[in-house]
Structure 1
């Protein structure tokens, strides 16, 4: 398996995507992971959406978009106690976004961009992530019945 080149990464990020199945997107409960298949509008590229919620730290969440089932392109890590050290040694504190690039793959992170309006709300963070990942078409997000006082 060879890694993606930067032109491939750029192309896959801007490519419009849709859900393969029209079912509502469910948010995971504590300790759960939801996986949904996506595809390019012309069905030539496959993608996967992963939504994780920690069982122990309920405010720790991850939303990830993968290309060709194995290459993480975007990963939103949510939780105000999170710290990430980039390959260049710089540290990002708090929630952050990984954007795949050469030469670091998905190991480099940036502070959450302004396009994400509320990472403290998983359904809003997911909606913003889907927009950022260029998922188009109609879809609904079904919140989990579980919630924590913090709004998660």
Structure 2
């Protein structure tokens, strides 16, 4: 499988992205909700990006543990072009274009030929470069933010996913 990231996509991922507007503090999305944070390239302010955070909906059941499985997605896009997405979900199932099946949390990176249809396991070498070594959502976000070069001034107030 050819999983090469194009030079243009690398440039979009690595450019310094700042939050557009005055608001720098956001609450993490509640279950079943999403937030979109508008970003722009410091070197080319007309280049617009979006950081999306989505917390999966919960079924109506009583959770007796704080370490219950979460479904959480974080993604950066240039306009409507997805660049990097992390899906945190122990029960996720993804099939790559070559037929390889991934089970569990994984990372999508826009690659030549396949766009964001190609994914790596979160625990793979590629996944660790992007998401770090934890599956704790705030820690993964910090690794993701660093990889995508998103402004450190952006503050997310994290919940327990409930």
With the shorter chain as reference, the TM-score category is 0.7 to 0.9
Q: Give the Cα–Cα distance (whole angstroms) in 2 for the partners of residues 54 and 137 of structure 1.
A: 25
How big is the shift at 1:87?
Answer: 0.2
Gaps of 5+ in 2: 60-68
Structure 1 residues 83 and 77, CA gap change in structure 2 (3 angstroms): same
How big is the shift at 1:70?
Answer: 0.2
Q: Give the Cα–Cα distance (whole angstroms) in 2 for the partners of residues 137 and 30 of structure 1.
A: 25
How big is the shift at 1:17?
Answer: 1.1
Q: String of CA shifts for 1:76-96, please: whole Å, max 9, x gaps.
A: 000111111100111122110
Q: Which residue is 2:110 aligned to?
A: 100
- Alignment RMSD (CA, Å): 1.9
Q: Which residue is 2:10 aligned to?
A: 10
Residues 1:114 and 2:124 are matched in the alignment: no
4+ aligned runs moved over 6 Å, structure 1 = none
Q: Which residue is 2:40 aligned to?
A: 39
Residues 1:23 and 2:40 are matched in the alignment: no
How big is the shift at 1:137?
Answer: 3.8
How big is the shift at 1:60?
Answer: 1.0
Q: String of CA shifts for 1:72-122, please: whole Å, max 9, x gaps.
A: 000000011111110011112211000001110110001122242322x22
Residues 1:70 and 2:74 are matched in the alignment: no
Give the TM-score, by structure 2 length.
Answer: 0.78
Residue number among 56, 60, 66 corresponding to 2:71 in the alignment? 60
Contact 1:98 1:108 survives alignment (8 Å) = yes
Structure 1 residues 41 and 137, CA gap change in structure 2 (3 angstroms): farther
Contact 2:24 2:153 survives alignment (8 Å) = no
Residues 1:49 and 2:51 are matched in the alignment: yes
- Report the secondary structure of 2:128's partner residue: coil
Contact 2:31 2:56 survives alignment (8 Å) = yes
Give the TM-score, by structure 1 length.
Answer: 0.83
